[in-house]
Amino acid sequence: MKKLKIFSILMLAVLLFTSCKDETGTYVNQLYTDVEKDNAIKACLYSSADSAVAHLCTYDGFYAYRDGLYRLTFTGLQSSIFDTLANHDYGYLKDTLIYRANRLAESCAANVSSALETAISDLDINNYDELFYGESGSITDYFKFMESENIRSALQSPVSIRMDLFNVTSVWHEILDVYRNYNTTPVTYDLQNQIVTGMMNGLFEEMRIEEDFIRTDSTHCDGADTILVR
């Protein structure tokens, strides 16, 4: 599989390099079939997905990687539930929820890898040239647009199971009990779905970063010739 990915990325590199000299794309289109182009784009996605999982779905990945850039913090709760907790000396429950939710997300490497690989395999590509000649991130953005809901659906079950394993559900219920002692406003926040959303946002952003590396940094790839040239 790795050799196939490297070959496909190399092929995409040649395509993109050639495009710099052949603005019409005529020569490129004569050299490669749509199937080969499809394989090249998907190879880029496989590589960037592997990198995203390796960075985030590991201990302190979501919680601390890139100085906590991808940490799940549930900002939608800040002005209501979390403020109520803080005002009545229960702020530690917020910290506990965030910590446990991130540990949950970090434990899902196998599930995330499977969901991303299936989505990449199933991805239907119709606009090859736009992805080849587009800016860095265009391949990831297209993948996100086309497959987000399938990935979200695939992650719901493993996250649901881990809600109890990592005591996220029990802490959430404790938070709601405290909140309702001081505030009668109904809570409609879907915590499980927000965990999935936070995971997906981080993964897609890491994939975009990896795509940029693949396109622009020859030392980042297995060989200098695998660079994807914008």
**Per-residue confidence (pLDDT) for residue 34, from 0 to 100:** 74
Q: What is the largest CA-CA distance in the chain?
A: 70
**Per-residue confidence (pLDDT) for residue 223, from 0 to 100:** 39
Structure-token pair, residue 210 = 């990896």
The parts of the chain modelled with pLDDT lower than 70 are 1-33, 218-230
Could you give the CA distance from residue 121 to residue 117 in angstroms, rounded to a whole number?
A: 6
Q: How many CA atoms lie less than 13 Å away from 50 in the CB half-sphere? A: 10
Could you give the CA distance from residue 141 to residue 207 in angstroms, rounded to a whole number?
A: 9
- Is the Cα dihedral 113, 114, 120, 121 positive or negative? positive
**Per-residue confidence (pLDDT) for residue 218, from 0 to 100:** 63
**Per-residue confidence (pLDDT) for residue 38, from 0 to 100:** 81
**Per-residue confidence (pLDDT) for residue 154, from 0 to 100:** 98
**Per-residue confidence (pLDDT) for residue 176, from 0 to 100:** 95
**Per-residue confidence (pLDDT) for residue 75, from 0 to 100:** 86
Phi, psi of 127 (to 5 degrees): -120, 60
Going from the C-alpha of 6 to that of each of 27, 56, 199, 228, the distances in angstroms are: 23, 23, 27, 11
